[in-house]
Structure 1
């Protein structure tokens, strides 16, 4: 883990409505995973605990939108549309794919074999919390995450080059996901704080429509799907809501520890009781 010192900074931006207002805030020191949690790290958690992710279990009938095949375990997967498709037809870019999960992030015929150093994706908020608790850690707040990413730049990240959503030219060295740690560290010594995959935070996202019974948390930092022509969210201030139970192949996470030297991480991990439903 990497030490992130306390500090004071301006959070937010005026680029997108959901990123405002801009305000000054302070952050206490903490320790943060140097990289996004990888497939190998998550696999160790699953092996030692027998944990089953939400994308591998049957979903509740009220947990996702009605047009999804909700009775089959799976995750949301990005799929390149054809040039004939209308650019605003996002339904052709994203599909709920039964059989997609962290072991098969692009669908049942995909695999993470040979990709142990890639960030784990197709995990839900609860999956991320469960892993963090097993480690004796927790997820960062949105403020902590944004402070840790505050000097990240697109030049040091895996993003989309080319015309989104049709062609990723891979000018940054990768098409799609990249292994963790392939780009320069930021000032705190952290890799991939923007781009590659969105990352969960512990902050709830308030939904103004009170008829929406679903629960959302805030994700930060953009992903390999962010591009200049469509989604300029490869920035520390970027933020979006993500439904808690709906895993996706462009969202991952990293963990933090507060009061690192006063925490008994060994005992916290030993006493963790895995719950899978």
Structure 2
């Protein structure tokens, strides 16, 4: 973990409506994971506690009679469409895949073997929170996360180059998720605050009144799927809602510890 000092900054932006208003915010210092939690780190948690993730054990609570594939535990997986495909909405390149989970993030035939240094994904909000509690930590608030990321640069990030969702040219060296710490750290010494995978925060989603605040939390930072032509959310102020129970293969997390003088458990 690295120490993020206290400070004051301008939170929010006017790029997207949900990012406004811009407010001056003061933040107390805290320790934060240098990188996103990795597969190896999450595997240690599972090994020592016997924990099973929601994508491995639970069905979605809002299943409709015709959604037969939702009758099995799984996660949402990005699937790149063919170039001649004309999508009607973002849902056309996302699919709920039974058998997808943190061990098999792209579906039951995928694997994290040899990817111990990659960020763990296909975990739910509760899974991330359970890991944080096991470490004696918490998830960061939205304000804490944005302050920690504000000293970074979108140029130092794993994002999508090319026309989304058809072609990722991989000009940054990676097509898809990258191992943690492959890009320059920011001024606080944190890696991958922008891009690679979205990250959970402790805050419920406050913007859209049509969403139940007890079922959605705010995610920050953008991911390898963010591109200039579609999703310009590879910025510290960017945020989106994520359904708590719905795991996805482009969302991970990192943890914080707020007491400066406590010993830090690596």
Normalized against structure 1, the TM-score is what? 0.91
Q: Give the whole-Å Cα distance in 1 for the aligned partners of 2:167 and 2:211.
A: 38
Give the paired residue count: 266
CA RMSD of aligned residues (A): 2.0
CA contact (8 A) 1:40 1:116 kept: yes
Q: Does 1:140 align with 2:140?
A: yes
CA contact (8 A) 2:215 2:243 kept: yes
Q: Give the whole-Å Cα distance in 1 for the aligned partners of 2:125 and 2:32.
A: 18
Matches within 5 A, 1:167-182: 167-182=167-182
User: Bigger shift: 236-245 or 149-158?
Assistant: 149-158
Q: Give the whole-Å Cα distance in 2 for the aligned partners of 1:204 and 1:83.
A: 37
Q: Does 1:99 align with 2:99?
A: yes
CA contact (8 A) 2:205 2:213 kept: no
**Residue 235 (structure 2) aligns with:** 235
Runs of 5+ consecutive residues of structure 1 not aligned to the other structure: 267-277
Q: Give the whole-Å Cα distance in 2 for the aligned partners of 1:58 and 1:114.
A: 27
CA contact (8 A) 2:60 2:246 kept: no
Q: Give the whole-Å Cα distance in 2 for the aligned partners of 1:68 and 1:257.
A: 42
Normalized against structure 2, the TM-score is what? 0.95
CA contact (8 A) 2:195 2:223 kept: yes
Q: Once the 2 structures are TM-superposed, how far is the Cα of residue 173 of structure 1 from its aligned partner?
A: 0.3
Matches within 5 A, 1:185-196: 185-196=185-196
Runs of 5+ consecutive residues of structure 2 not aligned to the other structure: none
**Aligned to 1:154, what secondary structure does the other structure show?**
coil
Residue deviations 1:63-89, cap 9 Å, x none? 799747322000000000112222443
CA contact (8 A) 1:39 1:119 kept: yes
Q: Once the 2 structures are TM-superposed, how far is the Cα of residue 92 of structure 1 from its aligned partner?
A: 2.2
**Residue 39 (structure 2) aligns with:** 39
**Residue 249 (structure 2) aligns with:** 249
Alpha-carbon spacing, 1:65–1:121, altered in 2? closer, same or farther (3 Å): farther
Alpha-carbon spacing, 1:168–1:68, altered in 2? closer, same or farther (3 Å): farther
Alpha-carbon spacing, 1:86–1:37, altered in 2? closer, same or farther (3 Å): same
Q: Does 1:259 align with 2:259?
A: yes
Q: Once the 2 structures are TM-superposed, how far is the Cα of residue 210 of structure 1 from its aligned partner?
A: 4.9
Matches within 5 A, 1:104-115: 104-115=104-115
**Residue 85 (structure 2) aligns with:** 85
CA contact (8 A) 2:197 2:250 kept: yes
